[in-house]
């Protein structure tokens, strides 16, 4: 998850500033107690408009609100959309086989088609009978 990765990156930055060794972001462990502090740092580093108070200072927000705003403002790539389409197709295939009792040899998954830039295109499911 992108938020988790940003939080781990903030912890890694702190470790490096204290003279620690560099490591891969994915190997960093963030304890539940330290998560809010690193999330707040990641939130401040994120490049999107943040809510302000009456005097124009950035508002202090609860963890859930910071996560929600960060998720809302994450950039989505064509590959992200393609991966989502593939996971959805696999879930439908599993349901059709397990619950719908359709023989597995009758169901084929094809590469998802996504056309960037055209709203609504590529956001449908195509079924065909053979």
Q: Give me the tens of pLDDT residue by residue for the chain, a chain 130 residues long.
A: 788 989 999 988 888 888 877 778 888 889 999 999 999 999 999 988 999 888 888 888 999 999 999 999 988 888 888 888 888 889 998 999 999 998 988 888 877 665 655 555 556 677 666 6
**What are the DSSP calls for 24-68, one per residue?**
-GGG----TTTHHHHHHHHHHHS-S---B-TTSPBPP--HHHHHH
Phi, psi (deg, nearest 5) at residue 58: -65, 130
Helix H or strand E encompassing 91: helix 78-98
The pTM (predicted TM-score) of the whole model is: 0.59
H or E stretch including 40? helix 35-45
d(CA 7, CA 12): 9
Q: How far is CA 39 from CA 26, 66, 71, 119, in A?
A: 16, 8, 12, 32
| Cβ(66)–Cβ(40) below 8 Å | yes
């Amino acid at each position: 998850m992108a938020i988790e990765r940003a939080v781990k990156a903030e912890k890694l930055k702190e470790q490096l500033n204290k003279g620690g060794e560099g490591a891969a972001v994915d190997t960093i462990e963030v304890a539940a107690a330290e998560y809010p502090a690193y999330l707040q740092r990641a939130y401040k580093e994120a490049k999107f408009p943040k809510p302000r108070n009456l005097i124009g200072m950035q508002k202090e927000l609860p963890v859930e609100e910071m996560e929600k705003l960060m998720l809302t403002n994450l950039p989505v790539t064509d590959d992200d959309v393609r991966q989502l389409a593939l996971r959805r197709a696999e879930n439908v295939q599993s349901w059709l086989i397990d619950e719908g009792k359709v023989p597995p040899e009758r169901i084929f998954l094809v590469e998802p088609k996504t056309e960037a830039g055209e709203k609504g295109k590529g956001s449908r499911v195509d079924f065909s009978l053979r």
